[in-house]
Amino acid sequence: MISVRLSKELEDKIDLLSRQENVTKSDIIKEALEKYFIDHEKKLNPYDLGEEFFGRHGSGKGNLSETYKKKVREKINEKMSH
């Protein structure tokens, strides 16, 4: 559990919204935090978001980016021959 000190103005806004929307103050704060985290993640570039996964499940074949056309051609020919 986390306790947070809010300004009177912010607390009043949350209280008013809670009554208007008929939701708990906790739900409003949780939703606001979720939106904050989503916005923060959008600021990260794709490399930063996936960095922990790069190379994690390697195939052991270091030339896949160089031989992909040949592999695709082989798969297509294989399917056509059946």
CATH of range 1-54; options 1.10.1220.10, 1.10.10.10, 3.40.50.620, 3.90.79.10: 1.10.1220.10
Q: Given this model, what pLDDT does residue 58 score?
A: 67
pLDDT given at position 54: 79
Which residues contact residue 15 at a Cβ distance below 8 angstroms, ignoring those fewer than 6 apart?
25
Residue 5 clears pLDDT 70, i.e. is over it:
yes
Q: pTM of whole model > 0.85?
A: no
